[in-house]
Amino acid sequence: IQVPYSGNVPQKTVIWLLNCCIIYIMYCEKMLLSCLNSFLAALMARRNRRLKQILIGLLAAVTFYLLAYVYFNGTQYRAAAQPRWGDPGPYHVAYPRNYTFILDDPPTCKNRTPFVVLMVPVPPSGKAAREAIRKTWGNEKRVLGQLVKTVFMLGLPAGADAALQQEELRQEHQENRDLIQSDFLDSYHNLTIKTMMMLEWQAAHCVDASYVMKVDSDVFLHVQNLVRLLLDPSTARRNYMTGLVWWHSSVSRNPFNRFYMPRSVVPELEYPPYPLGMSYVMSLDLPGKILGVSPQIKPLFIEDVYLGMCLQRLGISPTDPPEETMFLVDPFHPLSGCSLSKVIAVTTNSIGQMVTYWQRCRQPDAKC
């Protein structure tokens, strides 16, 4: 938790003033002692030892009070002047923080309002996946009469060549204008941060769109089937989230499992229902609502579980898709033409497989 600090006065100036106050009080104390010593000397001449003891006691009490007041108030002020973030530990992530967007000017939502925004979290090194998506389902701009926009979300590169990677990302963004980058370290453990920053960007830039979909970069997306689902009159326009919903998902207590969660962090036996992180779609009222309750829930590193917790706090339950064939994770590949005609999102084993599925879906015989 960050200790609030207004920032109106430079921190170094605050500390300097505080130290000056302490020195001043010590100086005043010295002067007071000098005066009292003279007074006490006079009293000693009269041998009034009892009065001397009383005055010494009062002086000690006043001195203790002044020093205690300066110390405790000074400590609080210094804490306020120097905000510090706590270590999130192995099961949580460093969110919220004062993250900013460093690549943040795609034309999405500026001139026209899309029906659905497709947000693809991808690592900085994932240029091959970004290029493949740009040439396939990410290039579908107008579907069933509806405007569709695709953008990529990423954090900061790491490693010895981080500066070179960042420069390449800047050039890639100048060419395509579809990257959104924030200044958190891009890693698997920080997927929750990436998701929350996606929601922050969406809530700030595209509030007039109807839906937003998060799609992993290894997923083939059948955009036409997605838009057809969202245009269906039975699909809710508010408080709506769907995907491959996991109900009654057990909390792993196996310390050798990468999703291990001790009882001290999650005491419940089951997580609240949540759509699997490979892809999910939500109505545009939800990003702001999720961000609103997120400070009440310490964010886990398991991104989709954390979204389920936020939904539970909101009193909203995710919705199963009309057909279980619409969202598939790790299916038996290759999919048949009939399966491809029904799917909305499916995980793939390679970029080539994703491209092949997109090409097959565009063939006239891609149906049951």
Is residue 209 predicted with pLDDT exceeding 60?
yes
Is residue 75 predicted with pLDDT exceeding 50?
no
Which three-class secondary structure state does DSSP give residue 278? strand
Residue pair 183/100 in contact by the 8 Å Cβ criterion: yes
Q: Read off the pLDDT of each residue in 317-345 and give the average, rounded to a whole number.
A: 96
Q: 272: cis peptide before it, omega within 30°?
A: no
pLDDT single digits (tens) 3-42 = 333 333 344 444 555 555 556 555 555 565 665 566 556 5
Q: What is the DSSP string of 9-62?
A: S-HHHHHHHHHHHHHHHHHHHHHHHHHHHHHHHHHHHTT-HHHHHHHHHHHHHH
Residue pair 261/91 in contact by the 8 Å Cβ criterion: yes
Strands, sheet with 345-347, edge to edge from the N-terminal-most edge strand: 219-221, 345-347, 327-328
Residue 2 is given by DSSP the state P
Q: Read off the pLDDT of each residue in 45-54 and give the average, rounded to a whole number.
A: 59
Confidence at 110, pLDDT banded by 50, 70, 90 = confident
pLDDT single digits (tens) 219-268 = 999 999 999 999 999 999 999 999 999 999 999 999 999 999 999 999 99
Is residue 362 predicted with pLDDT exceeding 50?
yes
Across 20-34, 98-112, 166-180, 187-201, least confident range: 20-34
